[in-house]
Amino acid sequence: MNQNQTIFIIDAGNSFLKVGVFRDQKLEKVIRIGYEDLISYADLLNKVESKVVFISSVLSENETNKLIDIYPQSILLNKTCLFPILIKYETPESLGLDRICNSVASHFLCKGKNTVSIDIGTCIKFDFTDKNGNYHGGSISPGINLRYKSMNDYTGKLPLIKDRLTSNLIGGNTLNSMRSGVINGIKAEIDQFIHLYSQQYQDLTFFVTGGDAVYFDFPLKNNIFVDENLTLKGLHQIYLVNAK
């Protein structure tokens, strides 16, 4: 493997492409590209001759193929790849690759300790990996949008909220009551999960990531780190294992 080679790590999420540019095994920059602007994606890849493109995608097969068509030499992450952690999940065939990537990154960044990755996005996902690199699983619950949408879908009068505004504990109107239930409820859920994990495991480090993580404050403790590029770093580690 050429250490000086430029490696494009692509996290194709539901809303946009997140492109991590790695050189000498270091993350140099991160670029976000909307799916309506794939010309910019093609231009980015064509700028560098010596490159590897490694993609993780939650998109449909057809949409993923459109990305690969832009750069046919792309390598697509799948569950036949080698992973630098041991998956002990009871149903590995149903395990999301994003959860694996976050767990790989957490273990790599904090070897020798138990780790929990907390991904706050479409869903809120906790994933536990022990200090020996064994991934055990975690929890999944609805994120902000899903909670707001479910209240609108399954009631007759509650409106659909699309903002991320916070609210006091006691909402003085219907909108703020819904905001309090969702935003303050998620914060309480996360805090309680952190408390429960901390009670059960020693030498535990938490890594927080995901597009909605910015809407929550976390305790200023030396075992809780916020890393918006956790998934990209995990993808990069998986690529390195498979490139050997």
Active site residues: 98
Residues forming beta bridges with residue 225, ordered by sequence position: 207
The single-letter code of the amino acid at 47 is K
And the tokens for 70?
A: 């832009």
Alpha helices in the chain (DSSP H): 38-46, 61-70, 97-109, 144-153, 174-179, 185-200, 230-243
And the tokens for 147?
A: 């909670």
- Rounded to whole angstroms, the Cα distance separating 136 from 147 reads 27
Q: What is the CA radius of gyration of the chain?
A: 19
Residues forming beta bridges with residue 8, ordered by sequence position: 21, 53
And the tokens for 119?
A: 């991904």
- Rounded to whole angstroms, the Cα distance separating 213 from 25 reads 26
Question: What sign has the CA pseudo-torsion 72, 11, 64, 162?
Answer: negative
